[in-house]
């Protein structure tokens, strides 16, 4: 915007003449919340550390945290590229338009966008099957709720989040079909005070087990104060609420980050596609299930985990009805990808409507 042209940058020696791997591959990570959030970003940061550790001096990683999902993200990505990053992980949904804008202008850089759906010649998207963790947490919630009313503190109304809410509730209803659910949206990924307020209103409304799709342990901490239950999400949040914590639906980004960094070192990054890894690929699990959870419920979680691993269990399989009673998947019908990636309804038993 200042009108200065990017020019006169020193020209690197042609690759053919340079000794192999003389320079470390620079890899940048853009984070939406602080690395200390205990959840989403903390977990990406563990993934960054894992690849730095694994590849040693072959790579040089960097990160910028608390980057808003707006023009700041574009500036951060351009700066990373100007500093020599050849691989950039943009780790929040709202970076999508900025990755789309920047990638064609920087063809020598490979972009990786977490949770988006738009790819290009030098960009790919990737995600974790967070709904698998939500479903396993739901089973535990179904085994623990006494009020038969569970709740979710929801973040940003995109299909991923609606799918997670529904999957949590379907898991609970697999234990007790009469279970009802309430949702409060905070319209942010990371806003601990609002997350806590939303949790309080759920509890005041009779909810005794909560899940969240936000990034902080605020919901768990509120549960601890109020004597109800909740889950960790994305990271292991057990330490934040020893009594309230029923389990954490944890994402492990390290397997995917290891794959992509290896591909980049080999000069063969797989652009133009989406990678969606879950329990099967070791990217998702429900960990640290509380001792208070009955053994039969733990066994049910173990069965589902095994079924997700070997492909014999499908979460999104009919009969599934929305909360107006409309049948969306007939008995035995398995959802296809277009269905799964565009979920905009609440399943039977959830109060209210999806915003938007």
Chain positions contacting ligand GUN, by CB under 6 A: 32, 40, 92-93, 115, 160, 189, 213, 215
Distance of CA 321 to the CA centre of its chain: 25
Nearer to ligand GUN, 114 or 246 (CB): 114
How crowded is residue 46: how many other Cβ atoms within 10 Å of its Cβ? 18
In the complex, least distance from residue 233 CB atom to ligand GUN, rounded to whole angstroms: 8
Query: CA dihedral in degrees (101, 106, 109, 110; nearest 10)?
Result: 30
Alpha helices per DSSP H over 88-191: 96-102, 130-144, 159-173
In the complex, least distance from residue 315 CB atom to ligand GUN, rounded to whole angstroms: 18
Nearer to ligand GUN, 194 or 215 (CB): 215
* 29 membership: H or E segment, kind and range: strand 25-30
In the complex, least distance from residue 116 CB atom to ligand GUN, rounded to whole angstroms: 8
In the complex, least distance from residue 146 CB atom to ligand GUN, rounded to whole angstroms: 29
SS3 59: strand
Nearer to ligand GUN, 144 or 237 (CB): 237
How far is Cα 175 from Cα 173, in angstroms, rounded to an integer? 5
Nearer to ligand GUN, 32 or 186 (CB): 32
Nearer to ligand GUN, 144 or 154 (CB): 154
Query: 120 - beta bridge partners?
Result: 123
Residue 287 in contact with residue 140, Cβ under 8 Å?
A: no
- Strands 25-30 and 59-64 come out as parallel
How far is Cα 219 from Cα 94, in angstroms, rounded to an integer? 23
Nearer to ligand GUN, 55 or 126 (CB): 126
Phi, psi of 62 (to 5 degrees): -145, 165
Phi, psi of 66 (to 5 degrees): 50, 45
* 89 membership: H or E segment, kind and range: strand 87-90
In the complex, least distance from residue 305 CB atom to ligand GUN, rounded to whole angstroms: 21
Nearer to ligand GUN, 93 or 98 (CB): 93
Nearer to ligand GUN, 115 or 194 (CB): 115
Query: 125 - beta bridge partners?
Result: 113, 274
In the complex, least distance from residue 304 CB atom to ligand GUN, rounded to whole angstroms: 21
Nearer to ligand GUN, 59 or 250 (CB): 250
Closest by CA to 332, choosing from 347, 319, 315, is 319
In the complex, least distance from residue 155 CB atom to ligand GUN, rounded to whole angstroms: 6
In the complex, least distance from residue 100 CB atom to ligand GUN, rounded to whole angstroms: 15
Residue 169 in contact with residue 141, Cβ under 8 Å?
A: no
Based on the number of CB atoms within 10 Å of its own CB, is 256 exposed (0-12), middle (13-18) or buried (19 or more)? buried
């Amino acid at each position: 915007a200042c009108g200065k042209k990017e020019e006169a940058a020193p020209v690197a020696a042609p690759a053919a003449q340079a000794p192999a791997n003389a320079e470390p591959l620079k890899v940048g990570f853009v984070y939406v919340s602080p690395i200390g959030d205990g959840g989403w970003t903390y977990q990406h940061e563990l993934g960054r550390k894992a690849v730095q550790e694994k590849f040693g001096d072959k790579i040089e990683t960097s990160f910028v945290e608390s980057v808003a999902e707006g023009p700041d993200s574009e500036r951060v990505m351009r700066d990373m590229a100007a500093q020599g990053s050849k691989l950039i992980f943009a780790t929040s949904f709202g970076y999508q338009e900025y990755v789309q804008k920047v990638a064609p202008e920087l063809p020598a850089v490979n972009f990786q966008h977490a949770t988006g759906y738009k790819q290009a010649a030098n960009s790919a998207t990737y995600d974790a099957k967070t709904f698998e963790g939500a479903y396993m947490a739901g089973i535990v919630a179904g085994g623990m709720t006494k009020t038969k009313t569970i709740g979710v503190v929801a973040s940003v109304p995109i299909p991923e989040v609606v799918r997670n809410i529904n999957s949590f509730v379907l898991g609970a209803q697999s234990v007790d079909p009469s279970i009802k659910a309430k949702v409060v949206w905070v319209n942010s990924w990371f806003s601990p005070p609002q997350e806590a307020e939303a949790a309080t209103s759920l509890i005041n409304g009779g909810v005794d087990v909560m899940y969240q799709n936000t990034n902080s342990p605020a919901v768990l901490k509120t549960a601890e104060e109020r004597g109800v239950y909740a889950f960790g999400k994305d990271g292991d949040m057990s330490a934040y609420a020893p009594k309230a914590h029923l389990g954490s639906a944890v994402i492990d980004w390290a397997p995917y980050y290891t794959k992509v960094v290896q591909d980049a070192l080999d000069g063969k990054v797989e652009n133009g596609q989406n990678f969606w890894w879950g329990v099967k690929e070791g990217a998702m699990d429900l960990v640290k299930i509380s001792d208070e959870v009955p053994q039969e419920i733990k066994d049910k979680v173990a069965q589902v985990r095994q079924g997700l691993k070997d492909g014999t269990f499908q979460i999104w399989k009919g009969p599934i009805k929305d909360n107006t009673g409309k049948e969306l998947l007939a008995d035995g019908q398995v959802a296809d990808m277009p269905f799964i990636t565009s979920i905009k309804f609440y399943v039977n038993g959830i109060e209210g409507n999806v915003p938007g």
